Structure 1
Amino acid sequence: MATQVLIVGAGPTGLVLAISLARRGVAVRIIDKNSGPGQASRAMAVHARTLEFYRQVGFADAVLSQGIKIDAIHLREHGEDIAALPLDDIGAGISPYPFVLAFPQDDHERFLVAQLQAEGVAVEWNTELESFTQDEWGVRAVLEQDGDRVACSSVYLCGCDGARSRVRESLRLTFSGGTYDHLYYVADVQTAGPPNPDLLAHLGANTFALMLPVRSRGMQRLIGIMPPGVPPEPDFESVRPVLEPLLGIKVEQVNWFSTYRVHHRVAARFRVERCFIAGDAAHIHSPAGGQGMNTGIGDAINLAWKLAHVLQGRADAKLLDTYEAERIVFARKLVATTDRAFQLIVSQGAGGQLLRSWLLPHVFPVLSGFAAARRTLFKTLSQVLIHYPDSPLSGGRAGDVIGGDRLPWVPDNFAPLQTLDWQLHVYGQTAPLLAAAAQALRLPLHAWPWSDAAAHAGLLENAAYLVRPDMHVALALPRQEVDVLQELAARFALRFAGDS
């Protein structure tokens, strides 16, 4: 089968995009200029929303078995503990994954490569995009593969090729933002004493440092700012004298060590005709909140079903316009908020000193004792609050749920989402008119008896919710309005059933 989508870049974003497309029967080809998955990658946190996506495709449990749940955050300054926040089931009742999972990106990539292989698609390593052109008929790319130049034709091209994206540069898209002054390090190390299951964070002006557990190798992942006065080509011994007392550890073995710069940028566009960009090619962030990799995976989930629908004649091509409309708004907000948060954490000014010396040690522990504060923190970090209220696909409000919101989790209501397709949910009684309309549209309908859990989740009794393939609510229909459902289907020429 001829290639329908060419994906450039086999990091988490490109791999999840490839898996999601292959699952939907799309002929995908994925290339990467490197010789294999990354060996010294930095991203560690896998948030609840990403795990929900992985549950939808059937491998969340396997990811959980390879990662480690973070039980608590311990905050330190001047080498002393100043506050602790238990994270155990911090999001109970909000998500089936009410925690933060540590799963390093290099292990994560190898896992996703294997999942893609199970779909019958192999990553083509040592293969680089040299150039491409596009017109109304498709995309024609020239690849450099083991020293040879190879032509590749596809219907669409997706650039998931990182911060120095060849696809973005070829499309001449500006990448506005900046670079933080500090140089950062990342290392895998073995520490003395019993294994650490928690996140340790040292917050200080120019002394930001993190330590997280890495289950697969029994190691600890260290991330932080390089101290002043280090040599031009530093190694771990350059940071050891500063780092060990900051985190209260003794490093016995260094597996690997690397340095890098941190940027905060967003591309001007995420789409130019038949070409798309996603993940770090489209937006890069500060380390605050561990949002970057999870956001790229969210890009992939959003784009995959839309490409599949258009390629398979299940929707008008204008459906693809909603990818940029939905994801660029979130990316801009995320870059702005993580930038402000990170700047404050490492600031030498009065604001940063106040945060570290008074607010965190005194206010943080008190707030962590309140369920509402813990829930707010979980929702903010876990990405379950990502929504698309201004999308052309979104409409209506029923209870606390607005069109574009993530479908609230109620035990059992996520199981039908594994079809990776559209469905209608009713919590309460289904009106005969709605049932008939769903049957005419060949739209699967799932109904649950009204419950306290549904009310607690913000759903409305007897309302209907049209759920997209990416588990977001397209339409919230408080009175089961059939005409609104039919109008959306007509406007995008949607075929809800994939076999017609």
Structure 2
Amino acid sequence: MNRSDVLIIGAGPTGLVLGLWLSKLGVRVRIIDKTSAPGTTSRALAVQARTLELYRQLGLADTIVRRGHQIAAANFWVNGKPVAQLPLKRIGEGLTPYAFVEIFPQDEHERLLLERLEDYGVNVERNTSLESFVENADGLTAHLRLPDGEQEVCQACYLAGCDGARSVVRKTLDSGFPGGTYQQVFYVADVRASGPAMNGELHLDLDEADFLAVFPLSGEGRARLIGTVRDERAERADTLAFSDVSRRAIEHLKLHIEDVHWFSTYRVHHRVAEHFRSGRAFLLGDAAHVHSPAGGQGMNTGIGDAINLAWKLAAVLGGGAEPKLLDSYETERIAFARRLVSTTDKVFSFVTAEGRMADMLRMRVAPFLIPKMAAFEASREFLFRTVSQVTLNYRGMPLSQGEAGHVHGGDRLPWVHDGEGDNYEPLRQPCWQVHVYGDTSDEMIAWCHEHHLPLHVFDWRPAFETAGLGRNGFYLLRPDTYVAIAENSADPKVIERYLRDHGIRPYFN
């Protein structure tokens, strides 16, 4: 029987990132997908700053920035005229190396991930589906249906369900998927067009007509339209054509559609699985949580799931941690998913609400408030921090400990880049490491050397204080660059106790 360390069900971005991260860490993976070929169309567009930060560990970030498109501004239209603009260029200045809004469509994203997986000798097995699996003493036994219709029995140490909202893995685990479905029907279309809204920026129509957003794509005259379909048309969503969508919203944005490359309709759901793990099987991405497209969070959250789980699986499989480390995956990711669904639900409901009051808020109040908000750096920074996922943290959770400066255990390490260096450079390696800003003890230096734990000591400078980092303490960083320990002392026994309590031996990595 075929055996792998991790059997991954589903070859969307979540499954591919999981496979790529595990392969980089020396884990044998097998990826199957029921489709015959990679997708050529997609709904997901945005690659958030936090995802790009983590992609540095795979050498992907620079390629995506080069191939993608950065949005300079968001423009809001009412009654056929642009009434407000929110500048987005360098909106996260000083917070991250990727202080912008990056557009890189999911289909192109998947192709890039597939290319990198091939470098590790991993190919997706197409037209192959999971029929069932059972857990046994030392792993899982799965039954697969192959392209020729034959059944294969295979074994794996762990199984990852990255198989979307209709997940076979989730149904097999009998995990509930509470939530609901919005009444609106969405459409998405890739078009070639001309007009003032085709200037490489984001444009949104706030009128009482069907909601419409125009997202620029790389290449002259290319854009992605995302809009709603209301009234009786929503009852026949499965048979709608582009000619059925509201011309009114398109005309309000003064768009001249020259060609429609692709068109599809879909409904938006908001659900979070009751559990993200059962024994040796895990749920990730849309199999674990689905929500509205507000803020471009969906694909990025699935990628975050994959990165969170990958280093933990690699540690357990490689002898660098006890299996109890895997308990933290659900604890950390389900909390974030629930917050995200709640947040995007509020934004989505405001944008798509119907009625006189909702129309007045969108058409009169929002255009008045947006320019005022954009004028304040604090407002722009808050918006960027929220959407970019750089504020995602695991504070108060089992793997998070302590506080030093303004940084808590569980936080993303603040980025500092000035004329004297970049404290994120060591993070390119997905391994446990210690950061010290200022001075440290001889004991710390000796202990880290003895245990083969990378230690990076940065000479103290004002930029570190500005970023909220503590002086002369230390930060123990996880392989996914989140802070495990924030500590004001320079005592390595703090690290020793933490690792012992959690059953982690990072120097095995």
Report TM bin, short chain. Answer: over 0.9
Which residue, out of 431, 444, 447, partners 2:441?
431
Report the Cα offset of residue 480 of structure 1.
2.5
Distance 2:412 2:260 in 1: 42
Distance 1:486 1:498 in 2: 15
1:415 equivalent in alignment to 2:425: yes
**1:307-334 C-alpha deviation (Å, 9 max, x unpaired):** 0000001001100000000000000000
Alignment-derived partner of residue 226 in structure 2: 223
Distance 2:39 2:209 in 1: 28
Distance 2:435 2:78 in 1: 49
1:94·1:409 contact (CA, 8 Å) conserved in 2?
Answer: yes
2:205·2:249 contact (CA, 8 Å) conserved in 1?
Answer: no
Alignment-derived partner of residue 48 in structure 2: 47
Distance 2:369 2:76 in 1: 13
Q: Percent identity?
A: 49
**SS of residue paired to 1:4:** strand
Distance 2:51 2:442 in 1: 36
**1:338-396 C-alpha deviation (Å, 9 max, x unpaired):** 00111012112566345313332112111211111111111000000000012211000
More displaced stretch, 356-365 vs 424-433: 356-365
Alignment-derived partner of residue 202 in structure 1: 205
Q: Which amino acid aligns with 2:210?
A: T
Distance 2:248 2:22 in 1: 47
Distance 2:192 2:154 in 1: 45
Alignment-derived partner of residue 113 in structure 2: 112
**RMSD, aligned CA:** 1.6
Distance 2:461 2:356 in 1: 50
Distance 1:212 1:48 in 2: 18
Distance 1:270 1:449 in 2: 42
Point out where structure 2 has 5 or more consecutive residues left out of the alignment: none
Alignment-derived partner of residue 148 in structure 1: 150
**SS of residue paired to 1:290:** coil
Q: After the TM superposition, which residues 187-266 of structure 1 pair with which residues of structure 2 at under 5 Å, given as runs? A: 187-193=189-195, 195-205=198-208, 207-215=210-218, 219-230=222-233, 232=236, 233-239=239-245, 241-266=247-272
Q: How many residues align?
A: 499
Point out where structure 1 has 5 or more consecutive residues left out of the alignment: none
**1:94-119 C-alpha deviation (Å, 9 max, x unpaired):** 00000110111111111111111112
1:184·1:226 contact (CA, 8 Å) conserved in 2?
Answer: yes
Q: After the TM superposition, which residues 163-182 of structure 1 pair with which residues of structure 2 at under 5 Å, given as runs? A: 163-182=165-184
Report the Cα offset of residue 260 of structure 1.
0.6
More displaced stretch, 131-140 vs 257-266: 131-140
The 1:375/1:200 distance shift into structure 2, 3 A limit, reads: same
Q: After the TM superposition, which residues 52-67 of structure 1 pair with which residues of structure 2 at under 5 Å, given as runs? A: 52-67=53-68
Alignment-derived partner of residue 284 in structure 2: 278
Alignment-derived partner of residue 309 in structure 1: 315
Distance 1:282 1:400 in 2: 32
Q: Which amino acid aligns with 1:114?
A: E
**SS of residue paired to 1:397:** strand
Distance 1:359 1:175 in 2: 36
Report the Cα offset of residue 2 of structure 1.
3.7
Q: Which amino acid aligns with 2:388?
A: S
Report the Cα offset of residue 37 of structure 1.
1.6
Alignment-derived partner of residue 457 in structure 2: 447
1:345·1:355 contact (CA, 8 Å) conserved in 2?
Answer: no
Q: Which amino acid aligns with 2:173?
A: L
More displaced stretch, 423-432 vs 454-463: 454-463
1:159 equivalent in alignment to 2:161: yes
1:204·1:345 contact (CA, 8 Å) conserved in 2?
Answer: no
1:426·1:462 contact (CA, 8 Å) conserved in 2?
Answer: yes
Report the Cα offset of residue 437 of structure 1.
2.4
More displaced stretch, 361-370 vs 193-202: 193-202
Alignment-derived partner of residue 395 in structure 2: 389
Alignment-derived partner of residue 12 in structure 1: 13
Q: Which amino acid aligns with 1:297?
A: I
Q: Which amino acid aligns with 1:426?
A: V
Alignment-derived partner of residue 460 in structure 1: 470
